Amino acid sequence: LAELERLNLAAAQGSSLQVTVPRDWPADGETRIGYVTVLRIAESVRELHWRLDVLPRAHEGEIDTVIRSLSGEFLAPILGGSIVLGTYAVSKLTRRSYGLQIQLASAAGEIFALLQLTNVFVNPRTLKATSPPSEVTAALNILAAENLPDSPGH
């Protein structure tokens, strides 16, 4: 995320991320970006979530996550020159892990990709699974509750 921001290709808008896809990101002879580049954009959305929702509630170096699983649907091509809006939602919170859903869409609402990640909290020194600080758990619980299907606004 920091690299895309430094290049003026990404800007946070609250809890969403707007990414401008350079025309030179597609492979030679292509007009659309490949799935690895789509995942790079999704990772930037995940980093925004971490920056907004986790880091302010944890001491530096206290907690990290590793991805246990990743699945996704690539529903429409993302062309070089496109503007991509990335959003996320927290789900499936457990004692040591949580789900993160990432959506990449156009400004007009066309969904390009939907990704599901399972993040496992780890101690950054030992890389062993651990529980996050209670402040992080509380914040993720609030985010997960906001994304329940029967909550207001859904």
Please give the pLDDT value at position 151: 40
Distance CA 23, CA 28 (A): 11
Distances in Å between the Cα of 127 and the Cα atoms of 21, 99, 130, 132 are 34, 19, 9, 13
Please give the pLDDT value at position 148: 62
Answer for the pair 133, 62: CB distance below 8 angstroms, yes or no. yes
**Which portions of the chain are predicted below pLDDT 50?**
151-154
Please give the pLDDT value at position 153: 43
Chain centre distance of CA 10: 13
Structure tokens, 111: 């969904």
